Structure 1
Amino acid sequence: VVDLLNILKATAVSSAIIMIGVLFYYYTAITGTFSRTVFFIDAINTVVFIGMFRLAIRIYYNNDQGFSGLLNIIKPSRTKSGDGGGIPILIYGANERGELLLRSLTSGARPHHYDPVGFMDDDQQYWGGNIHGYPSFGGMDSFEDVITRFSVKELMVASQLAGEKLEKINTECRRLNVVCRVVPSYLDSSHVTIDASLLRGIQIEDLLDREPATIDYSKIESFLKGGRVLITGAGGSIGSQLAVHIAQFGPSRLILVEKSENYLYELGLKLKEFSSGSIRFSYNCVDITNEGQMDRLFAREKPQYLFHAAANKHVPLMETNIETAITNNIGGIKAISGLADKHGVERFILISTDKAVNPVNVMGATKKICELYVQNMASKSATSFMTVRFGNVLASNGSVAPLFLRQIENRGPVTVTDKNVKRYFMTIPEAVLLILQAAGMGG
C-alpha cells in the first residue's frame, strides 16, 4: 500500500507537470484536435502498469510464505512507528538486509512480538528516508534520543559490521539497557530470507578486528542450485555449517554422512526449517572407512559435488592415537576419493588445515598425505579434485577459542604457546562460504 501511494503521488505530480506544459506551450495547436482526457488515461495506465510490476515483484519474493505472504503484500504498513503493541525494536542497517528483516517482522508469516519503530544507519545516504513507511532516524549519534523517545527495548543489527564497530554499538546498548542482537553473517546473500527467529546475541566471532571476507554468492549459487551434494563429517562444526549454508542455495538433494548418530540427529533439527521446501535430505549414519556401505550409498544417491569434512582434528589426541588418525584421515580419503572417481562425481573438495604445511605432528602429517593423495587423483581422474586449507576457525571443534573461554569462565590461567604468539582467526560462516567459493571456481 505504501508503494501504491508513492506511485500515485509521483504519477499525479508528473502528469500535472506534463499537462500544464503541453497546454501552456501548444494550446492553439491542439484546440479541437487533441482530447485532454489523454492525460488522465495516461495517468491511470501509468499507475496500473507500474503497480502491477511492483506487485509481481512482491509476489515473487513472498511466494515461499503462501497465502499469508500474499496478504502481507496488500496489508498497509503502520503510519506511526512503534504503535503495534509489541516490543519496540530498532533496526540498524537501512539497506537491503534491513529491509528483508523488516519484511520478516511485519509479514505475519511467522508470529513475532516485535514492533519496529524505524532504522538507524551511520551511512548518511539513508538519513531522513523511509522504508515501507518506517523512518531512518540517522546515525548512532542520535541513538540515545531515539531509544528514549520510543522506549526501544532491542536493537537488531542487520548490517554486517567489523568487530570494532559492533563492539561500540554493543557497549552503547549495554549502557542504555537495550538488548543487542545480530543477523548471522551467512544470511548475507540476496536470495536468503532474513527471519527474526534466526537472530542471536553477539558472539566472540562477531568481534574480529577486521572486515569480513568478500564472497561471490552468484558463483556459489550457479553450481549448487538444483545440484546433488554430499557432505562427509556432516555433524561436525564445519560439516554442519556447510549443510546449513548449502541448503540456503537450493540444492535438489543434500546427502549427509556422519558416523555419530547424536551429531546427525542434531543436524536434522538444524535443517528442519528447510524441510518444507524442494530440498530432499538424506541422513546416513555411516563410517566413511566402510567402503562397501559407502559404495552402495554413492550408487543410490549419485552425488555431483562432494565436500569431505570428515577427519580427526585434535592435535594432542592424535599424538597418542596414531592408528586412529591414519585409519580415519588417510584411509577415509583413499576410500572416498576412489568412490568419487568411480561414480563420476563432478567436484571433490577436501577440507584441510594449515598444519599440513611442514607438519610437526601426527594430525598435520596425515592431512598432508591426504592433500598429496587428492593431488595425485586430480592428475588422472575426470573428477575435479581440490583442497581448501584453513588456520584457526573460531568455535570449531579443535579450535583454541572455546578452550580460552572456558579458562576465563573458570577464572583460571589462559594457556598459550608463547606470550608473544599471534593467532589469526576466521569465523565458521566465513570458512564455509570460502569453501563454497573455492568449489565454485573449480579445480
Structure 2
Amino acid sequence: MKKENKIIVLDVILVVISLYMALLLKFDFRIQPDYIEFFLLSIIPVVVLTIIFNVIFKLYSNIWKYASVEELLSIVYSMTASNIAFIIYGYFISHTMLKSRFFRFPITVHIIFWLLSVISLGGVRFLYRIMENNGTDKGQINKIKNLLIIGAGDAGAILIKEIKNNSTLHYKIVGLIDDNVNKIGKRIHGVKVIGDRNKIISFCKQNKVDEIMLAMPSVDKNTKKEILDICKQVTKNIKTMPGIYKIIDDNINVNHMRDVNIDDLLGRESIKLKSEHIDRYIKNKTILVTGGGGSIGSEIIRQIAKFSPKKIIILDIYENNAYDLEMEFNRNYPEINKQVIIASVRDTIRIDQIFHDHRPDVVFHAAAHKHVPLMEGNAGDAIKNNILGTYNVAKCCDKYNVKKFVLISTDKAVNPTNVMGATKRFCELIIQAFNEVSKTDYVAVRFGNVLGSNGSVIPLFKKQIEKGGPVTVTHPEITRFFMTIPEAAQLVIQAGGLADGGEIFVLDMGKPVKMVDLARDLITLSGYKPDVDIKIEYVGLRPGEKLYEELLMDEVALTSTEHNKIFVEKPKDATIEFIEEAIKQFRNVDNMTKEEIIKLLEEKVPTYKRKKD
C-alpha cells in the first residue's frame, strides 16, 4: 500500500476514535442510545468531509519528514472546516429529516472532537517526522559538521532557519560572527553572536569548526577579502552567498551557498556595463569577432548577444572551440543570427573576401598569439599573427567602411621586455595610425591577466595541485594585475561605446596581486597547507618576463571617462606611412634570423627593451 493511502486509512481511524472519545468525555462515559445511533449515522459523512478537506489543504501532498508550523496550521484549518461542515450536516439531518433534537450533537462535542482530531492527526504526523529524522541521524551521526556563520543580518537569519528546518544537511551551528558591536551577545533563532572577526580563529579552534559560511551578500569586495584571509587560516571549507537578490526574493537556501572562488580573494569590485553606450553601436548591427572561439573572444560574443545584434560572425582558426561555441549558442540563443567562419587573420585574400561578403559594422579583434615564453622562441610567427594579422583586419575595416574596430591589447605592451608585448604594442600603433586617415573609429583596450582564460596561471596551478605539487612560481616578488573573463569582455564592449577613435582604454584593476599569495590561496582553498602538503617552488623568471606589469605608457597622459573604472591614454604619434613601411619589412620575417627579427622589433617599437638573460 502506498504511503499516502496508509495515511488516509490512519486518518479515518483517528477521526472516528476522536468523535467517539468526544462523546465519552462529554457524557462522562455514559452515552445515551440516541447519540450512539447518531454517531453510527455520522461516521461516513464525517470521514468523507475530513478526507475532502484534508485534500483541499494538501495534507496528503506534504512531505512530513520536513513538517513545520505551516503543516500544523493546515491540519487546524482542515479540522475546523470539516467540523463546521459536520455541524451544518447535524442541523440539516435533525430539522429536515428526523425532526428530533437528539439527532445532532451538542456544540461541546464538536469542540472536543475538533481538539482531539487536531492533536491526533498532527501528533501522528510529527511523530513520523521524529522517527524519520532519528533514523537518518543514526546513519549520519558521524557526518555532523560544526558550522560557523559570518554575518548576523537578514541573510544569516534566513540561513539559520533553513539549516534548522532541514535535518538532512547535518550541520550543527556553533555560533555567529558579526562586526556590529550591538549584535554581540544577542541570539538569532537560538544561535549566539559570539563576537567580531577577531574572534574567528580562536573560536574555530576551541569549537573544532568544520565549515564556515559567509552570509554577507552585499558586503564590498575589500571587506570580504579581509574576512576570507582570516577564515582560510582555520579551514578550507568556506562557502559564500552569491548575491543580495536572493534576500530580496526571499529565496535563500543552503544550496545557493557556493564554494569561495579565487575571484573573491582579489579584493576589487567587478566592472559593470553601462548599457546606454552599447545599445547604439551593437543593436541591429553585424558584428565580427576574430579569435571568436577563444576565452576572451567567446565571452565577448556572449555579452554582445544580450544587445540584440543583427548578426554575429565568429571567426577562428581553431575549429573545435568555434564549434563548441556554435553549439552553445544553438542552445542558449537560438534566435541569434550567427555564422562560424574558419580562417586565419594572416590570410590577406581570405580576410578581404569575408569583409566583402558580410560587411560587418563592428569588429572586435581578439585573434592573437599571447604566450610570452612561446613567442620568445617563435618571434617570426608572433609577428605574422599579431602584427600582420592585425594590419590585415584593420586595412579591411578601412576599405569596407566598418564603423568601429576594437583591438584587444595587453599590459605587456607597456614598455615591453618580450616579443609578445612588443608585437601588441605595434598593434596599438597600427590602430592609432589608421584612425588618423580612416572614417572608421579605431580603439585599443588594454588589461592584465585574465583569470581562467586558456593558458592563464590559475588552470596551471590547479593542475599542479591535483598532481600533488609542487606549485611553481617564477619569483617570490612577481606581481600581476588580474581580472575575470566577463570583466575583460565587458571592458572591450564598453570601450567600443566610449570610443571617439585612436584611444587606448585602460581598466582600473586595483592593486597588483603577488603570484605567490595567489598560489598559497589556491592551495588552501583546495584543502591543503602551503609548504606542508603542497610545496611552492621558485623556478626563476621566464624569457622576456617582467617582475611587475604596467598598464599605462605615461600616467600624465591618463584621462578619465564617463565610466569610473575606465581610463584612456592619449594617442601617441604614429603615421600611416611609418606603419606601411614597417609592414613591408615585417612581411619578410621568414627570411630573417631571430636576432634580425628582434632588432627590427626594437627599431619599430622604441619602448621595447629586450630583457637580457
Task: Identify whether the pair has TM-score above 0.5, normalized to the shorter chain.
Answer: yes
Deviations 1:231-286 (A, max 9, x none): 00001110111111111221110011001111111111222234432x20010011
For 2:408, the equivalent position in structure 1 comes to 351
For 1:257, the equivalent position in structure 2 comes to 315
Aligned match of 1:220 in 256, 278, 296? 278
AA of the residue aligned to 1:381: S
On the 8 A contact 2:282/2:309 being kept in 1, the answer is yes
Cα distance in 1 for residues equivalent to 2:167 and 2:361 = 53
Matched, 1:366 2:423: yes
TM-score by length of 1: 0.60
Instruction: Kindly report which structure 2 residues correspond to 1:128-147, keeping only aligned pairs within 5 A, or say none.
Output: 138-147=154-163
On the 8 A contact 2:398/2:438 being kept in 1, the answer is yes
1:164: how far off?
Answer: 5.9
Instruction: Kindly report which structure 2 residues correspond to 1:285-364, keeping only aligned pairs within 5 A, or say none.
Output: 285-364=342-421
Cα distance in 1 for residues equivalent to 2:286 and 2:168 = 45
On the 8 A contact 2:362/2:402 being kept in 1, the answer is yes
For 1:392, the equivalent position in structure 2 comes to 449
Aligned match of 1:235 in 290, 293, 296? 293
AA of the residue aligned to 1:372: L
* Structure 2 CA distance for partners of 1:202 and 1:373, relative to 1, 3 Å: same
Superposition RMSD on alpha carbons, in Å?
A: 3.8
Deviations 1:43-83 (A, max 9, x none): xxxxxxxxxxxxxxxxxxxxxxxxxxxxxxxxxxxx99xx9
Indicate the SS of the match to 1:415. strand
Aligned match of 1:148 in 164, 172, 180? 164
1:139: how far off?
Answer: 2.5
Deviations 1:6-50 (A, max 9, x none): xxxxxxxxxxxxxxxxxxxxxxxxxxxxxxxxxxxxxxxxxxxxx
1:159: how far off?
Answer: 7.1
Identity of paired residues, percent?
A: 41
AA of the residue aligned to 1:315: V
Aligned match of 1:211 in 254, 269, 276? 269
Indicate the SS of the match to 1:283. strand
Cα distance in 2 for residues equivalent to 1:329 and 1:199 = 42
Cα distance in 2 for residues equivalent to 1:164 and 1:272 = 40
Cα distance in 2 for residues equivalent to 1:203 and 1:422 = 20
On the 8 A contact 2:362/2:405 being kept in 1, the answer is yes
Cα distance in 2 for residues equivalent to 1:227 and 1:345 = 11
Matched, 1:424 2:507: no
Unaligned runs of 5+ in 1: 1-78, 89-120, 125-137, 188-197
1:214: how far off?
Answer: 3.5
* Structure 2 CA distance for partners of 1:152 and 1:309, relative to 1, 3 Å: farther
Cα distance in 2 for residues equivalent to 1:440 and 1:149 = 49
Instruction: Kindly report which structure 2 residues correspond to 1:16-415, keeping only aligned pairs within 5 A, or say none.
Output: 138-150=154-166, 162=221, 165=224, 182=242, 203-277=261-335, 279-415=336-472
* Structure 2 CA distance for partners of 1:167 and 1:405, relative to 1, 3 Å: farther
For 2:93, the equivalent position in structure 1 comes to none
AA of the residue aligned to 1:371: E
1:151: how far off?
Answer: 5.4
* Structure 2 CA distance for partners of 1:287 and 1:159, relative to 1, 3 Å: farther
On the 8 A contact 1:152/1:178 being kept in 2, the answer is no
Cα distance in 2 for residues equivalent to 1:322 and 1:159 = 47
1:374: how far off?
Answer: 1.0
AA of the residue aligned to 2:453: S
Cα distance in 1 for residues equivalent to 2:219 and 2:316 = 32
* Structure 2 CA distance for partners of 1:314 and 1:160, relative to 1, 3 Å: farther
* Structure 2 CA distance for partners of 1:199 and 1:389, relative to 1, 3 Å: farther
Cα distance in 1 for residues equivalent to 2:279 and 2:389 = 28
* Structure 2 CA distance for partners of 1:84 and 1:384, relative to 1, 3 Å: farther
Unaligned runs of 5+ in 2: 1-56, 67-149, 170-212, 246-255, 502-613
* Structure 2 CA distance for partners of 1:355 and 1:438, relative to 1, 3 Å: same
On the 8 A contact 1:164/1:208 being kept in 2, the answer is no
Cα distance in 2 for residues equivalent to 1:283 and 1:199 = 37
Cα distance in 1 for residues equivalent to 2:348 and 2:325 = 23
Cα distance in 2 for residues equivalent to 1:141 and 1:258 = 50
Cα distance in 2 for residues equivalent to 1:84 and 1:203 = 37
Cα distance in 2 for residues equivalent to 1:286 and 1:209 = 40
Deviations 1:87-119 (A, max 9, x none): x9xxxxxxxxxxxxxxxxxxxxxxxxxxxxxxx
On the 8 A contact 2:293/2:318 being kept in 1, the answer is yes
Deviations 1:411-440 (A, max 9, x none): 223222321233331111111111111111
Cα distance in 2 for residues equivalent to 1:293 and 1:199 = 49
TM-score by length of 2: 0.44
* Structure 2 CA distance for partners of 1:151 and 1:234, relative to 1, 3 Å: farther
Cα distance in 1 for residues equivalent to 2:62 and 2:283 = 38
1:340: how far off?
Answer: 0.5
Deviations 1:207-239 (A, max 9, x none): 432221233123223321221110000011101
Cα distance in 2 for residues equivalent to 1:290 and 1:266 = 24
